[in-house]
Amino acid sequence: MIKPPVWFYVVAVLALLWNAAGLMAVVADLRLSASDIATLPADQQAMHAARPAWSVVGSVVAVVAGTLGCLLLLLRRRWAVSVLAASLVGVVVQDVGLFGAFGAAGGVQMVALALQGLVLLIAIGLLLLARRAIRQGWITSTR
- Predicted pLDDT of residue 107: 56
pLDDT, tens digit (0-9, with 9 covering 90-100), for 70-126:
999 999 999 999 999 999 999 999 988 877 766 644 555 677 778 888 999 999 999
Q: What are the extents of the domains in the chain?
A: 6-136
**Residue 134: Cβ within 10 Å count:** 14
- Predicted pLDDT of residue 141: 65
Q: How confident is the model at residue 138 (pLDDT cuts 50, 70, 90)?
A: very high
Q: How far is C-alpha 130 from the geometric centre of its chain's CA atoms?
A: 15
Q: What pTM was estimated for this model as a whole?
A: 0.87
pLDDT, tens digit (0-9, with 9 covering 90-100), for 55-74:
999 999 999 999 999 999 99
